[in-house]
Amino acid sequence: MFAYKASAQQGTRMFRAKILSKCAFRRKMSSRLVLGIETSCDETGAAVMDETGLILGESLHSQKEVHMKTGGIIPTVAQRLHRENIGRVVQEAMERSGVTQSQLSAVATTVKPGLALSLGIGLHFSLNFVKLHQKPFIPIHHMEAHALTVRMLQPVVFPFLVLLVSGGHSLLALARGIDDFLLLGQTLDEAPGDTMDKVARRLSLIKHPKCSMISGGQAIEILARDGDRLKFLFKPPMGAHYDCNFSFAGLRNQVTMSIQKKEEEEGVEQGTLLSCVNDIAAATQHTVASHIAKRTHRAILFCKAKDLLPSCNPTLVVSGGVASNQYIRKILKIVTDTTGLHLLCPPSKFCTDNGVMIAWNGVERLREGKGILSHTEEVNYEPKAPPGCEHNSRSEGGSYQTSTIKAEGYGLTFTYVHIHIIPTIYH
């Protein structure tokens, strides 16, 4: 978490240096400017960006340290922390940008999905702000923002395949436009970051000297480097389900049972650091990674069979907090290399939640003139905005003969005979 803050500040310094140049100053004055605000979970983030994607100022307050001490996010605590910090975070981003409220072209804020009490703080603050300064308001879908972040960094054309994996989401979709996503699969229970956070908590990794101040997923990644994943064999999830959905709850159950067994064998109480934490971390990470890779592989094969990706430079974009995991990236690289796709992952600081990605989504919408509301319009937040189902739901199922990938060294072999997919459209 501290590493994140440090890199965010470094990033801001870098961009502030750019502000000082005459060229950037001229560009700032001629370009439309967007303030982005994020409060959907446990980060209070704000950023000011110009229409070219240049970050003029940003600020981020992470609540992770507080939630780690209480063993998980308590919504009322998250709400209080957002309320206490949002004014300062927005002011900091504005001050660092050197932009005044009157120079802004619009305010973009996450309104779905997320924790109701957290979303409410960002929305309430933003609606007051746009009313006071008479600015247009752009409501943002958090997952759309994660999916589009990569386009802020490099020109990635639609359509592309996107994998979003974080503490709250796990989904595969074909991005066909800034607000047009064909959903190929999503988690049936919990998200991979949530699973790793819970495993880390059950292992009491907060007591481990290498892991006291970092998220559960990061802790698992660090300990796994010194572990032997073959010491624990967990059954891969959904082996008999030939679709692109995910499931991680069963894996968490298996890991919990193994931890209990080890505690009994070692004669220690729950809450004691086990001698085999590295091995458990390595086996958990590997099972999560190979499940994600197999579902992604199937989605790629489906897109190829249906001719959904461009023949020139077909791309897989991976984002969300779990996308910062280097082991998962390496396994996904094997899949993309074998299937001829280009793999793109934004740097870690843009994979986890932040205000920059919301500002960028605002820029994308402003450019296309989509979803821009007047400051007088009523807007509500939506804690559950499941990708899809309610609109234009349609089946594109089918079975395809597919290929095999052998990833030596990782012990992975993917062989698929069928792909059954029931995708839906979502906004």
Q: Tell me which residues touch ligand KG4 (CB under 6 A).
A: 41, 166-168, 193-194, 196-197, 215-218, 221, 320-322, 324-325, 352-353
List the one residue out of 364, 415, 363, 192 whose CA is nearest residue 287.
Answer: 192
Q: Which residue number, 166 or 186, has a Cβ lying nearer to Zn ion?
A: 166
For residue 207, what is the DSSP state?
Answer: G
Least gap, CB of 210 to Zn ion (angstroms):
25
Q: Give the sheet arrangement for strand 137-141, strand by strand.
A: 55-62, 43-50, 33-38, 106-112, 137-141
Q: Which residue number, 135 or 198, has a Cβ lying nearer to ligand KG4?
A: 198
The interface partner of residue 167, options being ligand KG4, Zn ion, none and the CB cut-off 5 to 8 Å by kind, is: ligand KG4
Distance of CA 33 to the CA centre of its chain: 24
For the window 166-205, what string marks contact with Zn ion as x by the rule CB under 5 A?
A: x---------------------------------------
Please provide residue 128's backbone torsions phi and psi, each rounded to the nearest 5 degrees.
-60, -45
C-alpha to C-alpha distances, 40 to 79, 220, 246, 250, 352, nearest whole angstrom: 10, 24, 22, 27, 12
Please provide residue 180's backbone torsions phi and psi, each rounded to the nearest 5 degrees.
-130, 105
Q: Which residue number, 42 or 50, has a Cβ lying nearer to Zn ion?
A: 42
Stretch that binds Zn ion, among 130-138, 161-169, 204-212, 256-264 (CB under 5 A): 161-169
List the one residue out of 244, 207, 203, 248 whose CA is nearest residue 227.
Answer: 203
Q: Does 290 participate in binding Zn ion (rule CB under 5 A)?
A: no
The interface partner of residue 352, options being Zn ion, ligand KG4, none and the CB cut-off 5 to 8 Å by kind, is: ligand KG4
Strand ranges (E), 106-233: 106-112, 137-141, 160-165, 170-177, 180-186
Measured in Å, how far apart are the chain's first and last C-alpha atoms? 31
The interface partner of residue 364, options being ligand KG4, Zn ion, none and the CB cut-off 5 to 8 Å by kind, is: none
Which one among 353, 357, 385, 423 touches Zn ion, defined by CB under 5 A?
353
For residue 163, which amino acid is it? L
Least gap, CB of 142 to Zn ion (angstroms):
6
Q: Which residue number, 112 or 262, has a Cβ lying nearer to Zn ion?
A: 112
Tell me the C-alpha distance between 211 and 273, whole Å: 12
The interface partner of residue 322, options being Zn ion, ligand KG4, none and the CB cut-off 5 to 8 Å by kind, is: ligand KG4
Least gap, CB of 375 to ligand KG4 (angstroms):
28
Q: Cα-Cα-Cα-Cα dihedral of 42, 58, 105, 320, to 10°?
A: -50
The interface partner of residue 217, options being ligand KG4, Zn ion, none and the CB cut-off 5 to 8 Å by kind, is: ligand KG4
Would you call 118 helix, strand, or coil by DSSP?
helix
Q: Which residue number, 42 or 50, has a Cβ lying nearer to ligand KG4?
A: 42
Least gap, CB of 257 to Zn ion (angstroms):
30
Least gap, CB of 289 to ligand KG4 (angstroms):
9
Least gap, CB of 381 to Zn ion (angstroms):
15
Under the rule (CB under 5 A), what is the footprint of Zn ion? 166, 353
